[in-house]
Amino acid sequence: MSSPMVPLLALLASTFVLAANASNVTCSGTGMNWYTNFVGESPCRTYERLRQICNPAFQVGVMRTNTPPDVCDEQLADCCCNSIAFALAMLCLNCQQNIGTSSGYDAGNFVHDHVVHA
């Protein structure tokens, strides 16, 4: 006989998985509200949706603070190895770190060219 707690535990576990992913696409403060107010979603969510065009299972993780903040390791790199994806990844990094317009993470010299032409 199955315990009625098993479905409840499964539901709770799936909720935590969804919440963990949501935290990676949700800005950690108000620093990027200008983007969210204009576009209607966080830059991390926009980046995730762009990457999901080529890989529907892609989920944004915690962005690295050294640049580039994410890697383009997909078999089909068209959705992650371009200037738009690079810019969105940089915006997502600033979103996750709650950095607004006055300061932020800048990519080092030639990082953009290396990522886009990889």
> Which pLDDT tens digit goes with each residue over 75-114?
888 999 999 999 999 999 999 998 876 666 666 655 545 4
Q: Report pLDDT for 11.
A: 40
Listed ranges 6-10, 19-23, 43-47, 98-102; the one with the highest mean pLDDT:
43-47
Gap between the Cα atoms of 98 and 96, Å rounded = 6
> Which pLDDT tens digit goes with each residue over 12-31?
444 333 444 457 999 999 99
Instruction: Look up the domain containing 10 and give its range.
Output: 5-116
Give φ, ψ of 98 to 5 degrees: 55, 50
Q: Report pLDDT for 101.
A: 64
Domains in the chain, number: 1
Gap between the Cα atoms of 94 and 35, Å rounded = 11
Gap between the Cα atoms of 82 and 37, Å rounded = 25
Q: Report pLDDT for 6.
A: 47
Q: Please state the rounded mean pLDDT for residues 41-58.
A: 96
Contact 47, 88 (CB under 8 A): yes
Gap between the Cα atoms of 95 and 79, Å rounded = 20
Listed ranges 1-5, 14-18, 49-53; the one with the highest mean pLDDT:
49-53
